[in-house]
Chains A and B, each alone.
Chain A
Amino acid sequence: MPAVYVLFGALLTVTTSLALGKLLLRQLGIRLYRQEEHVFAFVTGAVCLSAITFLLCALGAARKGVFLGVGLVALAIAVWRGMHRPVGEPLPPLRGFWKWLFGVPFAVFAVLYFFNAMAPEFSPDGSGYHLGLVARHLRTRGFARLTTNMYANLSQGVELLYLYAFAWGRHSAAALVHFAFLVTLPLAMLAYARRFGFAPAGVCGAILVFAAPVVGIDGTTAYNDVALACVLFTLFYLLQIWAAEPSPALLVPIGLLAGFCYAAKYTAFLAVAYALLFIGWKLLRRRQPMWRPLLLVSTCALVMIVPWMAKNWIILRNPLSPFFNAWFPNPYVHVSFEKEYARNLRHYDGLNSYAEIPLEVTVRGSVLGGLLGPVFLLAPVGLGAVAWPAGRQLLLAAAIFGAPYAANIGTRFLIPPAPFLALAMGLVLARLPGAVPVVVLVHTLASWPSVLTRYCAPTAWRLTGIPWRAALRLQSEEDFLNSKTTLYGVARMIERLAPPGSRVLSLDQIPEAYTSRDVIVGYQSAFGNVAREMLYTPLMSDVVPAGRVRFRFPPQALRAIRVVQTASGGPDHWSIAELRLFHGERELDRAPDWRLRAHPNPWGVQRAFDASPLTRWRSWQELFPGMFVAVDLGRREIVDSVLLECSRDQYKVALKLEGRDESGAWKLLSDAPEQWEGTLELGLRRGAVEELKALGITHLLLFDHDFGADDFRTKGAVWGVTQLGEWYGARLYRLD
């Protein structure tokens, strides 16, 4: 992608946001200082542009030309209405020393960040799902019904801004949009501090955040944490202005921004509650009516929130997907996955104790993915800011927006509260003569890539230099990306060797943003979980349905039977590969008018009745009494035994069989089944591949470190697969 397109895509997004924001703010008659207006206009405009892009995606009109049209119209109206002419008074001036102390580090790091953002995108999540989904939206011109990627179920407010830029400038344009938020954040922090009279603290806080290594790398890639931090801080800033100068008009952008925080990231859902409680508390203390203001804020917030919930409700039957699946049962995300996912986010491999977190997030940066810089070890001094009203507000915001960190202890989840904490630190340090310049100097030096390398962990997530040749496209994207990650080549191998329309099952996330093929990652959906299990069944003795459980009872006419599970607890799940009914030696044919039911996971019940040893109904939840699989026979049938073919990975399961006769009442038929080990069928590997093909999967991507990879490599003919290509230990197979 030529650099000019990259810049155009990003500039179109930023200028359209600015135009929309200025139009909104001036239409509302909000009076701001001149420097503030730019900040608020960009952020509120971005919120509006994201909402417009959502609408276009919903209408299937997410096209390059449409985006350009929206931008040109917004810009034309803005110019026509004179939005380019500054209004408002300038903020109180920044004294020379402080101007330099802020300006020099800001400019130097802005250059570093600009070239990194401009360089081809290779961040794991950015090129994996953030832009993978963006690219998919662009290909399908909107929200295609996607149920096989749980990341698509998350709100994507920031990603829709990336989409707007991506349409013209692809991956780097999206990263540049994030970069725009990155440079806006310290400007907003400084403007806030200047307005409320503690500019030195603002300089300190702004540079502490701006130069923080994890903020730098996050904000120059297609992640969204810095954008969220910027919106959260802008929301806080607007609330502080409203508290000082109550104006009903401010409540509109406050509501929009609060709602957008949810639209940007679920973990920021507290922003709405924070805004409402803040406003309610202030009005209560002023003895002013609060319901209309709160209603206005709530309505504006809901405008940003409801579309995402509605999208999930329509597509996934769960407005909060991929979470709360026990509340909103659905076939797309398993309850067990949700529990495991939440647990994994709280426990990072390599972290032996939570006591290691402070050093990890400030100095080492490897295990938790990035570092804030050693100066943040001084963060506790920020608690001293509780002595001042502004400090109390900042610490309260830091506590609220830092609370979700408990759910994900990665360093980047500290970015949203970091601006508040940094300003609180600044408030305290500014009282100590000479402390702010020293801290700023030490932090900027310690955060510069070449210095950083000397003390952080070698694998710490960070920027490593200024890739100006790649940024200006003097080095080809292909060369640059291949030099940075082998995964890019994997994505391109898929693009090259799997024909259009292919569906590739992978057990690992790859840079989906660089392939147009449908990549199903095994852990990312119920569909992927099932496909992965089918693949592994021939290789895992505990999963192969070699167990036999037979209930025998006196022959009798029944209309329905059900197998009920009575035990509770984990980690076992209950599963049945096949459920067969017998009268004597004769197995009852599975008639079309039979009706099959299961609880939980009713959607998988057919897999216990498809005559395939490679598929199974599974609870996908830990055991609880009352789980059942039932067959309504539709008429009376003489039955005297029921045979279950099942796997061994369910040691705690306790079963009983119940039957229903003409009376309609369920009665116990047997609770003491015979159990023995059955014989495994030959051809399970080939059968697994056939089942995957029945799911529409055409290719398989296996890394040499994946479980079973050796078996595929050495027994390709047995599986019925052909290796099409290999790239640094990643092998692409075609299912024959």
Chain B
Amino acid sequence: MPRRFLLAAVTLAGCTSIPDTYAPPIQRKPLNPSEPRAFGHFVNMNDPNAEAYFVKDVSPNLEGGAWRWTGKRPELKFFLDSVDNLSFVMDYTIAEPTFTSTGPVNISIFINGQLLERLHEKTHGERHFSKPAPPALLRKKGVNVVAMEIDKVWVSPADRAVLGFVLTRAGFRQ
């Protein structure tokens, strides 16, 4: 408290300069200290390190700068520092060209081999999926594998390439 406020005014006025350069502050602890640099809890298909998340059946080719084709059973791996209050989130698209051929499809989402949800897609178009992930399905401070299996795929007559659905991003969020 400035107890000698007025008397000290002149002196203080000369002493209150605020520096214009600063040293780096104390570094905060990471929010998820165990999470490895290579892959974490969420991936956008256009992330530079997106392929670090792929286990199988995700195209290595980035399309339109944002999405990738999947095969029949794409699998992604995620590292989770904690498993409480998490939802599995996925942005995906049922493509019109494949839908024309396959008709309605089902996509089953498995976390570490256990079924989380079965999605029945009657139309083509963009989708957003989000569902709380029970902690019992998840591995804390460990790698979690999520599989998204589509029951009908489109097979290219030309090169027998298998196309499932379009994946834009997937992972876990609070």
In order of increasing CB-CB distance, the 3 nearest A-B pairs are: A58-B5, A683-B31, A590-B24
Given the interface pairs A596-B22, A683-B81, A683-B82, the reply to whether A59 lies near B173 with Cβ below 8 Å is: no
Q: Does B159 contact A (CB under 8 A)?
A: no
A680: shortest Cβ distance to chain B, in Å?
6
Q: Which B residues are in CB contact (< 8 Å) with A143?
A: 1-2, 5
Is A592 in contact with B12, judged by CB distance below 8 angstroms? Answer: no
Residue of B1, B23, B31 touching A595 (CB-CB under 8 A): B23
Say which one of A260-268, A283-291, A566-574, A597-605 lies at the interface with B.
A597-605
Give residues of chain B (31-51) contacting chain A, Cβ–Cβ below 8 Å: 31-32, 40-44, 46-48
Is A142 in contact with B42, judged by CB distance below 8 angstroms? Answer: no
Say which one of B13-21, B103-111, B112-120, B147-155 lies at the interface with A.
B13-21
Is A610 in contact with B25, judged by CB distance below 8 angstroms? Answer: yes
Is B5 in contact with A60, judged by CB distance below 8 angstroms? Answer: yes
Residue of B24, B41, B43 touching A682 (CB-CB under 8 A): B41
Is A678 in contact with B9, judged by CB distance below 8 angstroms? Answer: no
A-B CB pair tally, cutoff 8 Å: 131
Q: Does B160 contact A (CB under 8 A)?
A: no
0/1 interface trace, chain A 678-712, chain B, CB 8 Å (1 if under): 11111111110000000000000000000000000
Residue of B21, B40, B44, B80 touching A597 (CB-CB under 8 A): B21
Taking A142-B5, A718-B174 as given, write out 17 further A-B residue pairs in contact, using a Cβ cutoff of 8 Å, ordered by the A residue number: A57-B5, A59-B3, A143-B1, A144-B1, A594-B23, A596-B21, A596-B24, A607-B25, A609-B25, A610-B25, A610-B26, A611-B27, A613-B31, A676-B44, A679-B47, A681-B40, A683-B174
Q: Does A722 contact B (CB under 8 A)?
A: no
Residue of B9, B27, B31 touching A684 (CB-CB under 8 A): B31
Q: Which A residues are in CB contact (< 8 Å) with B12?
A: 314
Q: Which B residues are in CB contact (< 8 Å) with A680?
A: 42, 173
Given the interface pairs A317-B16, A684-B31, A715-B85, the reply to whether A58 lies near B2 with Cβ below 8 Å is: yes
A724: shortest Cβ distance to chain B, in Å?
21
Is A55 in contact with B86, judged by CB distance below 8 angstroms? Answer: no
Is B31 in contact with A141, judged by CB distance below 8 angstroms? Answer: no
Task: Report how far A101 CA is from B86 CA in the complex, Å.
Answer: 75
Is A682 in contact with B44, judged by CB distance below 8 angstroms? Answer: no
Is A676 in contact with B1, judged by CB distance below 8 angstroms? Answer: no
Q: Does A476 contact B (CB under 8 A)?
A: no
Q: Which A residues are in CB contact (< 8 Å) with B171?
A: 679
B25: shortest Cβ distance to chain A, in Å?
4
Q: Does A310 contact B (CB under 8 A)?
A: yes
Is A596 in contact with B48, judged by CB distance below 8 angstroms? Answer: no
Is B25 in contact with A595, judged by CB distance below 8 angstroms? Answer: no
Q: Which B residues are in CB contact (< 8 Å) with A718?
A: 84-85, 174
Give residues of chain A (197-246) contacting chain B, Cβ–Cβ below 8 Å: none
Q: Which B residues are in CB contact (< 8 Å) with A632?
A: 21
Q: Does A431 contact B (CB under 8 A)?
A: no
Q: Which A residues are in CB contact (< 8 Å) with B5?
A: 57-60, 142-143, 311, 314
Q: Which B residues are in CB contact (< 8 Å) with A597?
A: 20-22
Q: Which A residues are in CB contact (< 8 Å) with B2?
A: 58, 60, 142-143, 145, 314
25 contacts between A and B (CB under 8 A): A58-B2, A59-B3, A141-B1, A310-B13, A314-B12, A594-B24, A595-B22, A602-B21, A607-B25, A610-B25, A611-B28, A611-B30, A612-B28, A679-B42, A681-B31, A682-B31, A682-B40, A682-B86, A682-B173, A683-B31, A683-B32, A684-B174, A685-B174, A717-B84, A718-B84
Q: Which B residues are in CB contact (< 8 Å) with A727?
A: none
Chain B residues packing against A (C-beta within 8 Å): 1-6, 9, 12-13, 16, 18, 20-28, 30-32, 40-44, 46-48, 80-82, 84-86, 171-174
A681: shortest Cβ distance to chain B, in Å?
5
Closest to A538 in B: B174
Task: Report how far A607 CA is from B9 CA in the complex, Å.
Answer: 31
Is A595 in contact with B42, judged by CB distance below 8 angstroms? Answer: no
Residue of B6, B9, B27, B40 touching A679 (CB-CB under 8 A): B40
Is B44 in contact with A679, judged by CB distance below 8 angstroms? Answer: yes
Given the interface pairs A679-B40, A682-B172, the reply to whether A591 lies near B47 with Cβ below 8 Å is: no
Residue of A58, A593, A687 touching B6 (CB-CB under 8 A): A58
Q: Does A105 contact B (CB under 8 A)?
A: no
Is B1 in contact with A140, judged by CB distance below 8 angstroms? Answer: yes
B40: shortest Cβ distance to chain A, in Å?
6
Given the interface pairs A144-B1, A596-B21, the reply to whether A55 lies near B44 with Cβ below 8 Å is: no
- For B28, B82, B172, the residue with the greatest tally of chain A CB atoms inside 10 Å of its CB is B28
Q: Does A89 contact B (CB under 8 A)?
A: no
Task: Report how far A682 CA is from B33 CA in the complex, Å.
Answer: 11
Is A314 in contact with B24, judged by CB distance below 8 angstroms? Answer: no
Task: Report how far A511 CA is from B21 CA in the complex, Å.
Answer: 39
Task: Report how far A613 CA is from B31 CA in the complex, Å.
Answer: 9
Is A682 in contact with B174, judged by CB distance below 8 angstroms? Answer: yes
Is A317 in contact with B32, judged by CB distance below 8 angstroms? Answer: no
Task: Report how far A606 CA is from B20 CA in the complex, Å.
Answer: 11
Q: Which B residues are in CB contact (< 8 Å) with A595?
A: 21-23
Q: Does A677 contact B (CB under 8 A)?
A: yes
Task: Report how far A330 CA is from B24 CA in the complex, Å.
Answer: 20
Given the interface pairs A676-B46, A676-B48, the reply to whether A610 lies near B28 with Cβ below 8 Å is: yes
Q: Which B residues are in CB contact (< 8 Å) with A687?
A: 31
Q: Does A404 contact B (CB under 8 A)?
A: no
Task: Report how far A676 CA is from B48 CA in the complex, Å.
Answer: 9
Is B9 in contact with A314, judged by CB distance below 8 angstroms? Answer: yes
Q: Does A278 contact B (CB under 8 A)?
A: no
Task: Report how far A104 CA is from B27 CA in the complex, Å.
Answer: 72
A538: shortest Cβ distance to chain B, in Å?
8
- For A58, A144, A685, the residue with the greatest tally of chain B CB atoms inside 10 Å of its CB is A58
Is A682 in contact with B27, judged by CB distance below 8 angstroms? Answer: no
Closest to B44 in A: A677
Given the interface pairs A59-B3, A145-B2, A682-B173, the reply to whether A310 lies near B9 with Cβ below 8 Å is: yes
Q: Which A residues are in CB contact (< 8 Å) with B4?
A: 59
Task: Report how far A596 CA is from B4 CA in the complex, Å.
Answer: 35
Task: Report how far A567 CA is from B120 CA in the complex, Å.
Answer: 48
B130: shortest Cβ distance to chain A, in Å?
14
